[in-house]
Amino acid sequence: MSKTVLVSGGAGFIGSHVTVELVQAGYDVVIADNMSNCDETNYKGVCAILGRELPFVKMDFCDAKAVRDLFAKYPIDAVIHFAAFKAVGESVAEPLKYYGNNLGSFINVLEAARAKEGGCNVLFSSSATVYGEPEQQPVTEQSPRQSATSPYGNTKQMCEDILRDSVKAYPGLKGIALRYFNPIGAHPSALIGELPRGVPNNLVPYITQTAIGKRECLSIFGDDYPTPDGTGQRDYIDIVDLAKAHVAAVTRMLDGKMKAGYEIFNVGTGRPCSVLELVKAFEKVNGLKLNYRITARRPGDIAAIWADPSYANAELGWKAERSVEDTLASAWAWEKHIAGKE
């Protein structure tokens, strides 16, 4: 009998891609989302890619009863928890909104998971932001976490700790935290992708919106970092590759292959890429010129971070495969797809 995975926040950017990969790997998926930060585009795209409707529950994970009811209705073997707020700047302005939502929803998931007969597996969507400004590159899972510079980053650290402590305390509960580097791109079908509201904070949606004419000019935040070309370096991970890491991690949990009740994996490519390199690659693969200028550094940005993904490669049997060019081509195809619908 196939196993059931609950994807909280499954109508969002990462959740929708993970849903597609899970179903294609043979899992039954239940999507639950309060739709507070997205519309139905990605859910419809997921159904179009898979050629069928999936169970979808509109609900808020801060509602403990709704979460308990969900667990009573479906035979949930594993949960992947994406339902959270994610804007760094907004979290500084409205910390209680972030602590209330991101911690409250996760605690409700863990309460329901630990109460489930036969146990339950929980995968938490964490971030490389927990490493702060690393002293050594690339970062491994053993690299020290640093105190968070935003409430958003703090909720990632706190949720990791809540998961670790819960797994220790409650028999039957198992957990994995995946620390994502910079997820970019879209599904090759161009039917699902990132849908930022308002002016994008992240680099790739800003690039594609500039290329299509929604934004006048991309600002490159600083060219005086101690990096080879002076612009910031990150580890840009393709969204479909990232989604496949979730399938590998869920399968590891469900197959009883974990080496400890709580495990952490970096999900990145291991390759640093600067802002300028990314812009050039985007121009080249899509055959266009991007309007950009160098501006001041963005407060809070770090110079560089990239992953050592060898632990995930070895233990999950997973590796990032898509080239940054293919990923940037998919991001552009997605931007054109949504522009055509507007």
CB of residue 304 to ligand UD1, shortest distance in Å? 8
Q: Are 270 and 235 in contact (CB under 8 A)?
A: yes
Work out the angle between the directed axes of helices 13-24 and 239-254 (0-180°, nearest 10).
60
Q: Considering the complex, state which of residue 64 and residue 88 has its C-beta at the smaller distance from ligand UD1.
A: 88
Q: Give the tokens for residue 34.
A: 């309060």
Q: 182 or 269, CB closer to ligand UD1?
A: 182
- List beta partners, residue 265: 178
Active site residues: 152
Q: CB-based contacts of 44: which residues, under 8 Å, 6+ apart?
A: none
Query: Which C-beta is closer to ligand UD1: that of 258 or that of 305?
Result: 305
42: Cα within 13 Å, side-chain hemisphere: 26
- Rounded CA-CA distance 262/274 in Å is 33
SS3 of residue 183 by DSSP:
strand
Which spans of this chain sit near ligand UD1 (rule: CB under 6 A)?
Answer: 88, 127, 129, 150, 153, 182-183, 201-203, 206, 218-221, 232, 234, 275, 298, 300-301
Rounded Cα–Cα distance for residues 59 and 44 (Å):
17
Q: Which residue's CB comes closest to ligand UD1?
A: 232
CB of 140 to ligand UD1, least distance (A): 18
Q: In angstroms, what CA-CA distances link 250 with 19, 158, 173, 311, 341?
A: 12, 22, 13, 16, 34
Task: Kindly tell me which of 73 and 298 has the beta carbon lying closer to ligand UD1.
Answer: 298
CB of 173 to ligand UD1, least distance (A): 26
Read off the tokens for 247.
């399938």
Beta strands in the chain (DSSP E): 4-8, 28-33, 56-58, 76-81, 120-127, 173-180, 182-184, 218-221, 233-234, 236-238, 262-267, 273-274, 292-295
CB of residue 177 vs ligand UD1: minimum separation in angstroms?
Answer: 13
Minimum CB separation of residue 119 from ligand UD1 in Å reads 30
Shorter beta-carbon distance to ligand UD1: residue 120 or 267: 267
Which string of DSSP letters, residue by residue, matches 105-164?
HHHHHHHHHHHSTT-EEEEEEEEGGGG-S-SSSSBPTTSPP---SSHHHHHHHHHHHHHH
Shortest reach from residue 277's CB to ligand UD1, in Å: 11
Cβ neighbourhood burial of 64 (10 Å; 0-12, 13-18, 19+): middle
Q: CB nearer to ligand UD1: give 46 or 237.
A: 237
